[in-house]
Amino acid sequence: MIVMERAKKGNTGRKVAVLGILAGLGLAAFLLESLIPLPFLPGAKLGFANIFSLLALLLYGLPEALIVVTARTVLGSLFAGNVSMLLYSLTAGLVSACASRLLLCALPRLSFVCVSVAGAVVHNLVQLLVYCALTGTLLLFAYSPYLTLMGAGAGVLVGLAVTLTLKALPARFVRAEVMLKEESK
């Protein structure tokens, strides 16, 4: 259902190339975002790297999206010189990709913007849970309302970017189900 028809016909070279491009673009966005501090919420990022993970999820499916998330996060943590970031970002990225996939299956008429918002909020809350588990303190949960609002705002931007990207892509790159879902709105 989620796997592209062309991938089934042995066109794995194109699939690997597209996934590599998505992971590379996600890595570039990840690294650029780490250079832009948000003064009102330390440690927060806009999450534009998630555009490419959501595209991988929509174009190919969950396993491929998990590969893009993993490659982007591991390489981004190494290149940024912050390996401790890996524990937070990778865990949250994998869980939010799975949550997005569950939403797409459970509510197939849900817009990509809504899926993105939910994924962003889940991402932020999972990072918070990982921090609380590592430190043994729940005090940082005071940030959860702010992280939820930031995640919702970033999710809207990411979802709009994904929707516009899917509309701009040639039809041969987009699965029929994705195109039909966007046309029905």
Exposed, middle or buried, 81 (CB in 10 Å: 0-12/13-18/19+)? exposed
pLDDT, tens digit, 9 for 90 and up, residues 64-103? 999 999 999 999 888 877 788 888 889 999 999 999 999 9
Taking the C-alpha atoms of residue 16 and residue 50, their distance in angstroms, rounded to an integer, is: 19
Architecture of domain 5-176: Orthogonal Bundle (1.10)
- What average pLDDT does this structure show over 152-180? 81
Instruction: Lowest mean pLDDT of 35-44, 70-79, 144-153, name the range.
Output: 35-44
Domain ranges of the chain: 5-176
- What average pLDDT does this structure show over 156-184? 76
Structure confidence at residue 2 as a pLDDT band (50, 70, 90) = very low
Predicted structure pTM score = 0.85
The residue among 76, 86, 161 whose CA lies nearest residue 117 is: 161
Q: Is residue 152 pLDDT above 70, yes or no?
A: yes
